[in-house]
A and B are shown apart, each in its own frame.
Chain A
Amino acid sequence: MNDKQNNSPQKAEQIVEKAVRAIREVRVPQGPPGEVVESVLTAGNGGRSEFAKGSFGMNWIMKIAAAILIVVGIGAVIGLVTQGSGGSGVAFAAVAQQFRNARTVTYTMITDADSEAIPTMRMEMSYKQPGYWRMTGGAGSVVGITDGTQKKAILINHSEKQFSEMNFSNLPQDKPEIEFFEWLRTLPDRADEVLGEKEMDGRRVQGFRVSENGMTGTFWIDTETGDLTRVEMEFPNAPGTHGVMTDFQFDLELEDSLFSLTPPEGYTQGPQIDTSPIDQDDLVKFLRWWSTHNRDGLFPPSLNHAKLAEAVMEMIRTGKLVADQETTKDKQQRDTLQITRGIMFVMMMKPESDWHYAGKGVKLGDADTAIFWYKPEGSETYQVIYGDLSIKELAKADLPR
């Protein structure tokens, strides 16, 4: 058979059929293992599944990682759509216009990292004018709803039958973190770079790239229909983390009830979520938490969230993780939120902050070694955090070499 014959539609269809048949005829071994079934049954009867702590589990460090990825994903959307304009592209301008005019937008967002310690996360996102957002993750078990008009949000955890309410009214006016779509509406008409065409998912698409502050977003648009088919994102402060947005739908009818901030009946109040602006104190708290939970008193090897998740796994494997005396769910949730805020402080840093982390191998209490320094926005001097977690203000010339 030659290549031409091999690529004929009939032949190709036969190959697909044969491949499907091959998978359908896979000899499935006896299973699943008894302990897996037992764990599933235990969970169903109200017990704690051993599975939840195991290889796939959303244990607390996974929750931290997951929370970070959600924030990264949302942040990337904001970052992409608030950038300046440059190149050209009629199709891109049309997509930008579509965002500006849409009453509703829905899409799927998948985030992952080049690390097995970070789970792939899939979220269904819905927006409705004038400022309502709904995010569903964890196969529907976690729902976040934001009402930008009231600057309020609710996080509903169906698996725990809990809800947490948040108020963002204290956020600075120039940082409207919850008005995502208003920022999306500012998508520039001109991309930085017009890429070539290629086949993607059986469609001919053209790419448009927008870059700023080291972050790059690539928009793929169907050349025939002009539909936005895919947006790919990379994150400067979280190397190795990827976000892909697909399945865009504009102007679907979305019921107002989907965006209700009223908690479901019978659900109890969950942990309070600190919505105050994140600052360097959050990083200091995180560094203290880490070094006091490391048996050797060491600071984290890196502030990259994927590496942090791997480092925690390594600490667990090697017995270096110090267990808390208090192991209540409430304590874990408080820790999770605090750690997330600390890492977010770094992730939100702009390149001009010139931040550096040098805490690898340094122990808590080392007052002579600087472990983190950065230049706050609008400042000429640097804030320097030392190994004893004291903070000094230094001129650039006085920074550690």
Chain B
Amino acid sequence: MTDWERIVGRHGPAVWQTAYRLLGNREEAADCFGETFLAALEFSRGQKVRNYGGLLRCLCTCRAMDRLRQRARLSGREEGLADWSNVASANPGPVEEVQATELSERLRRALAKLPGQEAEVFCLRCLSELSYRDIGRQLGLKTSAVGVLLHRARSRLRELLSGSIGSSEAEI
């Protein structure tokens, strides 16, 4: 087994999970998966990679966000890209499941409205659970800057999500 096969085997599941969670769509997640690994391969030819896990999750998040932004721009023409049956909760009833699906789709739309690095930092921290330090290393930011971007992202998401959810839906 080559090193590359080992890398794909070891990190592939996490990349797939990241792509699917963010995009909620199997076809786009597959494209994103391929793009991520090819970008990592190109990157590795230019410089040594110390942390493939972090790099791949970062690349995957950036590509998924680019797709979400493109989807948002086309939203007037194209809707319903998400798979509407793939949200689970501990004991999901039909209503809870639909609510969770709607909520995750709203979060995707809201993320698409954030400036580039704010969305990426938020996803890497809150969805991929990377440390501030790892996020900073991957995005070329100081740890303090990561904190600032995360704070701004949260603040903006609070506005976007609370503004987009009707009062009955917001009962939590």
Q: A residues bordering B, Cβ < 8 Å?
A: 1-3, 6-7, 9, 11-16, 18-20, 22-29, 31-33, 36-37, 39-41, 43-45, 49, 51-52, 54-56, 108, 110, 112, 114, 116, 120, 122, 138-141, 158-159, 161, 199, 201-203, 230, 246-247, 264
Contacts and interface: CB of A to CB of B under 8 A. Distances in A.
A247 B108 CA distance: 22
12 contacts: A6-B162, A13-B158, A18-B103, A19-B106, A19-B161, A37-B12, A43-B41, A51-B38, A108-B116, A116-B70, A199-B159, A202-B156
B115 to A, nearest CB: 5
B21 A1 contact: no
Contacts of A2: 167
Q: Give the 5 A-B CB pairs with smallest separation, nearest first.
A: A44-B4, A158-B46, A12-B158, A141-B42, A159-B42
Given A11-B172, A16-B154, 14 more contacts: A7-B163, A15-B162, A15-B170, A22-B104, A24-B127, A26-B21, A27-B88, A29-B86, A37-B8, A45-B4, A56-B34, A158-B42, A159-B45, A202-B156
B127 A23 contact: yes
Interface in B99-121: 100-101, 103-104, 106-108, 110, 114-118
A27 B86 contact: yes
Contact of B21 (A11, A24, A43): A24
A122 B46 contact: no
Nearest to A33: B30
Interface string B70-83: 10011000000000
B30 A32 contact: yes
Contacts of A45: 2, 4
A51 B24 contact: no
Contacts of B146: none
B159 A202 contact: yes
B5 A158 contact: no
Nearest to A200: B115
A41 B8 contact: yes
Interface in B131-172: 152, 154-159, 161-163, 165, 167-168, 170-172
Nearest to B164: A15
Contacts of A41: 4-5, 8
B137 to A, nearest CB: 14
A201 B74 CA distance: 21
Contact of A26 (B38, B104, B117, B161): B104
A44 B5 contact: yes
B124 interface: no
A43 B37 contact: yes
A375 to B, nearest CB: 36
Contacts of B101: 22
Contacts of A36: 30, 33-34
B100 A22 contact: yes
A299 B154 CA distance: 51
B159 A23 contact: no
Contact of A139 (B42, B114, B171, B172): B42
Nearest to B3: A44
Contact of B62 (A12, A18, A114, A122): A122
B117 to A, nearest CB: 6
B73 A112 contact: yes
A327 B46 CA distance: 26
A43 B86 contact: no
Contacts of B35: 51, 56
Most buried by B among A1, A9, A49: A1
A52 B38 contact: yes
Nearest to A201: B115
Contacts of A37: 8, 12
Nearest to A15: B161
A311 B29 CA distance: 26
Contact of B170 (A6, A51, A110, A138): A6
A11 B152 CA distance: 17
A120 B107 contact: no
Contacts of A26: 20-21, 24, 86-88, 104
A23 B22 contact: yes
Nearest to B5: A41
A40 B69 CA distance: 25
B109 to A, nearest CB: 10
A159 to B, nearest CB: 4
A14 B156 contact: no
B17 A28 contact: yes
A36 B107 CA distance: 27
Contacts of B12: 32, 37
Contacts of B22: 23
A31 B30 contact: yes
A56 B33 CA distance: 11
Given A141-B39, A201-B156, A22 B87 contact: yes
Contacts of A22: 87, 89, 100-101, 103-104, 107
A23 B152 CA distance: 20
A122 B39 CA distance: 13
A248 to B, nearest CB: 11
B115 A140 contact: no
